[in-house]
């Protein structure tokens, strides 16, 4: 008897018509049966937002019709990446449990602290909360026209490993891949999240009616000299993998707080 094909749920945050999810869907069809539930519009920077005070739409999508791969069930959703995973799990797939949830491939890095702002990673972390093995993939290239060709082997290798081994309970992988222009990739490194932050600057402008508005801009500042971080790996031509938890407890701080005698 032939082994059953694994069921793979695909989502993202750049929207269902982005080049990154097209790439990921094509790669995942080589590994299993693919179901897509992805946002119907770009949702970058949505973090772990969910739609609680508004309604949600979920409609069959033609985004992958006429493409190079067939047999894909696809839905587009008005909500956030986390909404997409919730709708996929509890409405679209119902009793069918995915063997793997993948999100991306994001146009732009989600390394270090950007994991918190990332809709791509929120889809993966939401899946981890639901007890599903999950990976968020990101390419360190923000361009709409980003070249994903060099990501194929790495994405398939990592997805295959997770299908084979599973993941520890409550863990999702944050995978970042250097841009094509950064040169040959030397390998994969398992990393911790670099301690970095965004130093924001707000570009102040006037609208056509004379009222002030802002654009958030900023630069990424890495405060972390460690050679075991995702930033270090990426800067040294490696794919970075950070295993991520959704338990935010600062276990190391419990004793100090208890000492306050509250």
Residues 85-114 binding its own copies (CB under 8 A) are: 86-87, 89-91, 113
* Whether the Cβ atoms of residue 70 and residue 92 lie closer than 8 Å to each other: no
Residues in 57-76 that interact with its own copies by CB under 8 A: 57-59
Shortest spacing between CB 90 and its own copies, in angstroms: 5
Shortest spacing between CB 205 and its own copies, in angstroms: 8
Give me the count of residues in the chain: 262
Pairing of strands 238-244, 33-39: unpaired
Residue of 48, 106, 134, 234 that binds its own copies (CB under 8 A)? 48
Residue of 3, 165, 206, 219 that binds its own copies (CB under 8 A)? 165
Residue of 122, 138, 151, 240 that binds its own copies (CB under 8 A)? 122
Shortest spacing between CB 236 and its own copies, in angstroms: 16
Cis peptide preceding 11, ω within 30 of 0: no
Phi first, then psi, for residue 74 (nearest 5°) are -130, 135
- Total binding residues toward its own copies, as defined by CB under 8 A: 79
Phi first, then psi, for residue 79 (nearest 5°) are -95, -165
Residues in 209-228 that interact with its own copies by CB under 8 A: 211-216
Pairing of strands 187-190, 196-206: unpaired
Asked if 4 is part of the footprint of its own copies (rule: CB under 8 A), the reply reads: no
Residues in 193-212 that interact with its own copies by CB under 8 A: 193, 195, 197, 199-202, 205, 211-212
Quick one: how far is CA 79 from the chain centroid?
15
Residues in 28-47 that interact with its own copies by CB under 8 A: 42, 44-47
Q: Token pair of 254, please?
A: 């419990």
* Count of Cβ atoms closer than 10 Å to residue 179 Cβ: 18
Residue of 2, 71, 208, 262 that binds its own copies (CB under 8 A)? 262
Hey, which residues does 83 pair with through a beta bridge?
none
Shortest spacing between CB 2 and its own copies, in angstroms: 26
Q: How far apart are CA 177 and CA 108, in angstroms?
A: 9
């Amino acid at each position: 008897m032939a082994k059953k094909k694994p069921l793979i749920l695909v989502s993202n945050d750049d929207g269902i018509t982005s080049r990154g999810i097209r790439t990921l869907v094509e790669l995942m069809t080589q590994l299993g049966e693919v179901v897509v539930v992805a946002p119907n519009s770009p949702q970058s920077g949505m973090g772990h937002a969910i739609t609680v005070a508004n309604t949600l739409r979920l409609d069959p999508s033609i985004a992958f019709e006429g493409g190079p791969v067939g047999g894909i069930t696809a839905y587009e959703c008005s909500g956030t990446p986390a909404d997409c995973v919730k709708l996929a799990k509890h409405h679209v797939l119902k009793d069918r449990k995915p063997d793997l949830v993948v999100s991306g491939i994001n146009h732009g890095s989600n390394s270090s602290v950007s994991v918190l702002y990332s809709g791509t990673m929120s889809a993966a972390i939401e899946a981890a909360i639901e007890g599903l093995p999950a990976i968020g993939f990101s390419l360190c290239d923000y361009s709409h026209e980003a070249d994903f060709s060099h990501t194929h082997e790495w994405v398939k290798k990592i997805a295959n490993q997770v299908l084979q081994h599973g993941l520890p309970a409550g863990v999702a992988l944050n995978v970042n891949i250097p841009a094509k222009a950064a040169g040959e990739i030397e390998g994969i490194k398992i990393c911790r999240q670099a301690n970095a932050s965004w130093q924001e600057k707000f570009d102040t402008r006037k609208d056509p009616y004379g009222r002030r508005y802002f654009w958030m801009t900023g630069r990424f500042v890495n405060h972390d000299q460690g050679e075991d971080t995702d930033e270090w790996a990426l800067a040294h031509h490696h794919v970075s993998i950070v295993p991520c938890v959704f338990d935010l407890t600062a276990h190391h701080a419990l004793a100090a707080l208890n000492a306050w005698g509250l």
